[in-house]
Amino acid sequence: MKIIEPIPSPTASIIVPARNEEASLATCLESLVAQEGVAFEIIVVDDHSTDRTQEIAVSFADRGVRLIEAPELPAGWTGKNNAVTAGAHAAQGEWLLFTDADTTHLPGSLSRAIAEAKDNKADMLSYSPEQIALTFWEMAILPVVFAELARQYPPAKVSDPTSPIAAANGQYILITREAYDAIGGHAAVAEDLLEDVALARAIKRTGRKLRFRYAADAVRTRMYRNFSQLREGWTKNLALLFPQPGRLAATNLLLWGSLWISLVLVKVSAWTRWLDGIDVAWFVFLCTRLRRSNFRTDGLINGVLFGMPMVAYLLLSSRRAHRRGKVGWKGRTYQPTQEETRSESDKQPNTPSFRAQRGI
């Protein structure tokens, strides 16, 4: 009699929520099915897509990708939280990797990430992916945004158990099943548009270990492919990520305006001999200020010359949208329902929760 060996449970369950992701899903799945060094399963959760997302996911079925459908969106839930919760319910791994459909994973990155989490005794590991910017708007805006994010959420402090600062990037969150269930999973932050930061706070609040870092060695992403997507995405997020978006917008405009004022002064002032070089020095200072974004020099230059006023515009647009209570994302509208109180010692933004409404 032939003995059938039991199929071992996967060490990791990779959960990919997808809503109208036909432009990027195939590349993402190609990079995931090629992972080695650890047993894993891949679950794509289709969030009521109207494009070829389902068809693309099904085409990977013979390579181990399982497609499930997100249930109807419950009242008070965001679409992503609903989708990843469905994926988590179906997952069997002792580690859960939540990753977006616009990510590309480097060979061996999953096994290395699990090893890194274990070596650092981290219950939750989140990577900030390398950002791929191709269009003018991406190359101008992203360096400024990510420099400000690194300033607001320094990875060293985020990873420090004694620091109250918590953050994560929803494009890559690796968490133990035990920790995920203990904090209530995404169901506990069902209304939060900024669910990644909310999960990170829950991890720290329960005394568990959080690790966060920039990870060009593991994952990359192209978040937005045109200005319309970029504007909608950052309008959704910026007012939640920064506690005083109006003040930050004014700071960016002041720094950017000062550069151009220095250029004019050097050109027209009778005191040129004394002002010579101030424009170059100010330009170098602003480029240095953006270095923490991890973009190349050309990205820093674009950010200084063109990105800073655009980020100011997006910050103000985000603040206005959240104050009006109408935040759009992927065909749905989210309406603020309540606001958490922010501790002064935390120095992090409020994280409003939202009620989802049908998009038109």
Write the pLDDT tens digit of every residue in 199-236.
Answer: 999 999 999 999 999 999 999 999 998 899 999 999 99
Confidence of residue 329 (pLDDT cuts 50, 70, 90): confident
Nearest to 174 by CA among 253, 226, 120, 247: 120
The answer to whether the CB of 102 falls within 8 A of the CB of 20 is no
Confidence of residue 273 (pLDDT cuts 50, 70, 90): low
The answer to whether the CB of 68 falls within 8 A of the CB of 13 is no
Q: How far apart are CA 359 and CA 341, in angstroms?
A: 29
Confidence of residue 276 (pLDDT cuts 50, 70, 90): low
Range of weakest confidence among 19-33, 49-63, 241-255, 325-339: 325-339
Structure tokens that stand for 280 in this block: 């170059």
pLDDT(342) > 70: no
pLDDT(349) > 50: no
**Range 12-129+169-225: architecture per CATH:** Alpha-Beta Complex (3.90)
Which pLDDT belongs to residue 1?
Answer: 47
pLDDT(352) > 90: no
Nearest to 307 by CA among 278, 322, 287: 287
Which pLDDT belongs to residue 266?
Answer: 63
Confidence of residue 336 (pLDDT cuts 50, 70, 90): low
Q: How far apart are CA 173 and CA 165, in angstroms?
A: 17
Contacts of 162 (CB under 8 A, 6+ apart): none
With 0-12 / 13-18 / 19 or more C-beta atoms within 10 angstroms meaning exposed / middle / buried, residue 9 is exposed
Helices and strands (H and E) in the chain: how many: 14, 13
| Annotated domain spans of the chain | 12-129+169-225, 135-152+227-325
Mean pLDDT over 93-103 rounds to 97
Structure tokens that stand for 319 in this block: 């603040």
Write the pLDDT tens digit of every residue in 115-160.
Answer: 999 999 999 999 999 999 999 999 999 999 999 999 999 999 999 9
pLDDT(341) > 70: no
Which pLDDT belongs to residue 10?
Answer: 86
Structure tokens that stand for 151 in this block: 């300033």
Contacts of 327 (CB under 8 A, 6+ apart): 193, 235, 236, 321, 333, 334, 335, 336, 354
Write the pLDDT tens digit of every residue in 3-33.
Answer: 544 456 789 999 999 999 999 999 999 999 9
Write the pLDDT tens digit of every residue in 66-96.
Answer: 999 999 999 889 999 999 999 999 999 999 9
Mean pLDDT over 280-296 rounds to 90
What percent of the chain has pLDDT above 70?
A: 87
